[in-house]
Amino acid sequence: MTRLSLAIPSKGRLKEKSEAWLASAGFPVTQIGGERGYQAEIEGLGDVEMRLLSAREIAQGLVDGSLHAGVTGEDLLHDLAPTGESDFEVLKRLGFGGADVIVAVPQAWVDVDTMSDLEAAGAAFRKAHHRRLRVATK
């Protein structure tokens, strides 16, 4: 029988909130190998392979099937899934991974002042170049 592979973020606020969420559900996480270890365990659940990875590695593992479940950003899933939402299923939105979204355009784009203007510019670009406007992310 294959062990369930579960991953949570390996550091930072998302790790802390993921561990707190699991503990509140009765599944306290213990990190193996100290603060620098990348494996963990949930007491009483020996059939679960618990891994500590970056949010991006978790999203990639969920999309490619090397992980069964994980806590990661939905934005990363959308970025990495080749065919969209058919590559993954969001079981629960935990509500603790919020991010600030900042949209910036070059100063030369004098006609783009609102998101509607940007949408129109993107549509015009797609019509002219037969591809979507590329968006840079962190």
Domain limits of the chain?
Answer: 4-87, 102-133
Could you tell me if 87 and 81 are in contact, meaning their C-beta atoms sit under 8 angstroms apart? yes
Q: Over range 124-132, report the average pLDDT.
A: 92
Q: How far apart are CA 3 and CA 6, in angstroms?
A: 9
Q: In CATH, what is the architecture of 4-87?
A: 3-Layer(aba) Sandwich (3.40)
pTM (two decimals): 0.70
| Chain position carrying tokens 């919020």 | 98
Q: Is the pLDDT of residue 97 over 90?
A: no
Q: How far apart are CA 43 and CA 34, in angstroms?
A: 16
| pLDDT tier, 88 (very low <50, low <70, confident <90, very high otherwise) | confident
